[in-house]
Amino acid sequence: MRHYVGGGFDASGVPFPLVDPVTGRTVGEVPAASRELVDRAVGAAREALRGPWAGWSPAERSRALHRIADGIEGRFEEFVAAECADTGKPRALASTVDIPRAVANFRAYADLLAGRGERSWHTETPDGRGALNYTVRKPLGVVAVVSPWNLPLLLLTWKVAPALAMGNTVVAKPSELTPSTACLLAEVIAGAELPAGVFQLVHGHGADAAGQWLTEHPGVDAVAFTGESRTGSAIMRAAADRLAPVSFELGGKNAGLVFADADLERAVEGTLRSAFTHSGQVCLCTERVYVERPVFEEFAGALAAGAKDLAGYGPMISAAHRDKVLGHLARAAADGEVLAGGGVPSFGDARDGGFWVEPTVLAGLPEDHPAVREEIFGPVVHLAPFDTEEEALALANAGPYGLAATVWTGDLSRAHRVAPALDVGIAWVNTWNLRDLRTPFGGVKASGIGREGGDHSLDFFSEPMNVCVKL
C-alpha cells in the first residue's frame, strides 16, 4: 500500500491496520498521509496544470483514458482479488460489476470526450457585420476526489475519469477501509504515459486526517465526494470558504412501491436484488418497501422466504458498521416483527470472526421508527402496506433522503404517473439498477448535490467560457 505523488510512489506515514471483513483478521498495513504529504500532492497537481498536461488536446486525453482502461483489463484478476479482499463481496459481484464498470467508466468518458462539441451563435450587430459567439471549456483545476468503501474502484473511477477527461488534475483519497484497488489504479496510471502530477493518491482517514486536510486545502479548486450526508455537509462548509464547487452523491433511504397489478414473482426477485446486493451496502439499495394491501401478505411471505434462502452474500465492511446494523435490528425486533433474519449467521469456520449480518426482513414498525427513517446501509428491508396510490407516494416521499426508488406495476399509465412524482434522482420501473452511463445520476434533498454521468459529469468538471468575436 503506497501513496502516489508527483509521479512517484511513497510509503511514508504512520501505518494503520487493514482488516479482512470476512474473518476480522488484520491482513496488512496502510500508510497514513501526513499533512505535509497532502500539501505536496496538491502542489504537484497544481504544477502539472501548468506543465505539458495543459497542452494535451481532447483527442490525446481520450486516448490516455483508453490506455488506463486497457491497463485495468490487463490486470483484471488482480483488481478482482483486491476488491474482494478489501470489501468481502463475492467474486461474482466484483468480476461482473465493480471491475468491468471501472473499465467502462474510462472508455465511456473517453468516447464522450472524443465526440463532444460546443455550441456557437452568429449574433446580429447594428452595423450588419455581426459577431461570432462560441463556448470553450476549461478545466476547474485541482480536483479532490474522495470515494467510499462500498464500491471502491467503481465510484473512484466514476469521478477520476471525467475529471481527467476535461483536463483537470486529481488528488484522490479512497476510504481507509478499502485502499487496495486505488493502489492498483495508481500503478496503471503510472504506466499510461500521463505527465507526472496529473493523478495523485493519498491514504488516510477523514476527520483531522488526509480527508479533511485535502478537502479544506486552499489549493484544491473543486471537491467530488461520495459518502455519508453528514460528511458531505462538513465538506461543503469547508469548500464554502473558498467558493469551491462541489459534487456530492450522499445517503439514501430508498423506497420501493409494489402495486397489486405487478408481476409479484418479478417484484419479489427484483426486491431481493435491490435490498440485499452487496449485503445492502449500496447507496441505491431498497430499505423500505410499500406494498398494496391486497397482495401484502403474499409478497411479504415470498420475500421473507427468499431472504432466508439467500446464499453467497458478504459481510459488513467493519465491526463498527456491523454493530450499527445490529443495533437497529435489536430496536426493530423489540418494536415490530422480524419476518426473516435479524441476527448473525454461524459458519463454524474463520468467518465467525468476521462482520456478518443475516439478510433481514422487518414489518410492523411505525413510519417514525429509526429503522424506517434512518439509513441503515445493511441487509435490512422494512415492509408496510398501503391502500391508495396517493398514500404510496406520500410514504415514499417522506423523510430527508431522495436518491432512488423502484416501482413495480403492470399498469403503464400508472408507471408514467407515479415515477415522475417520486422525490428522487432516479426511479426504476419493473427493474432495479439498470444503468446507462450517459444518463444523469444523483439525488435530491439530503441525498446529494449535482448530477454525475455522461455530459453532466463533463460539465461539472469544466468551466464554460464564452468567446465573442466581432466580424
- pLDDT at residue 118 in the model: 87
- pLDDT of res. 117: 86
Q: Is the pLDDT of residue 116 over 90?
A: no
Query: pLDDT averaged over the chain?
Result: 97
Burial category of 36 from C-beta neighbours within 10 Å (exposed 0-12, middle 13-18, buried 19 and up): exposed
Give the CATH architecture of domain 3-250+447-470.
Answer: 3-Layer(aba) Sandwich (3.40)
Write out pLDDT tens, residues 174-202. 999 999 999 999 999 999 999 999 999 99
Q: Which three cell numbers stand for residue 171?
A: 488528488
The per-residue pLDDT for 321 is: 98
The residue with greater pLDDT, 115 or 273, is 273
CA angle 32, 143, 462 (to 5 degrees): 170
Percent of the chain with pLDDT over 70: 100
Contact of 397 with 423, CB cutoff 8 Å: yes
pLDDT of residue 285: 98
Q: What is the mean pLDDT of residues 84-108?
A: 98
Strands 254-258 and 286-292: parallel
| Beta-carbon count within 10 A of 312 CB | 9
398-419 average pLDDT score: 98
Residue 115: per-residue pLDDT: 86
Structural fold of domain 254-436: Aldehyde Dehydrogenase; Chain A, domain 2 (3.40.309)
The whole-angstrom separation of Cα 229 and Cα 252 is 9
End-to-end alpha-carbon separation of the chain, Å? 58
Distances (CA, A) of 215 to 241, 242, 249, 302, 417: 11, 11, 15, 46, 41
Q: Are 235 and 229 in contact (CB under 8 A)?
A: no
The pLDDT tens digits for 48-74 are 999 999 999 999 999 999 999 999 999
Residues 4-22 have a mean pLDDT of 98
CB proximity list for 42: less than 8 A, separation 6 or greater: 142, 171, 200, 214, 217, 219, 220
Q: How far apart are CA 374 and CA 214, in angstroms?
A: 29
Domain ranges of the chain: 3-250+447-470, 254-436
Q: Residue range 280-300: average pLDDT? A: 98
Q: What is the DSSP letter of 434?
A: -
So which residues are the catalytic ones? Answer: 249, 283
Strands (E), 57-123: 120-123
Q: Which residues have CB under 8 Å from 394's CB, separation 6+?
A: none
Residue 105 has a pLDDT of: 98
Is the Cα dihedral 222, 67, 158, 31 positive or negative?
negative
Radius of gyration of the chain (CA): 23
Q: Residue 149: count other Cβ atoms within 10 Å of its Cβ.
A: 20
Q: Tell me the three cell numbers of residue 225.
A: 465526494
The cell 494503520 sits on which residue? 16
Count Cα neighbours of 325 within 13 Å in the Cβ-side half-sphere.
Answer: 28
Contact criterion met (CB below 8 Å) for 65 and 113: yes
- The per-residue pLDDT for 215 is 97
Q: What is the dihedral angle through the alpha carbons of 383, 388, 389, 395, rounded to the nearest 10 degrees?
A: -40
Cell of 101: 464498470
> Mind listing the pLDDT tens digit for each residue in 118-169?
889 999 999 999 999 999 999 999 999 999 999 999 999 999 999 999 999 9
Same fold, 3-250+447-470 and 254-436: no
Q: What is the pLDDT of residue 174?
A: 98
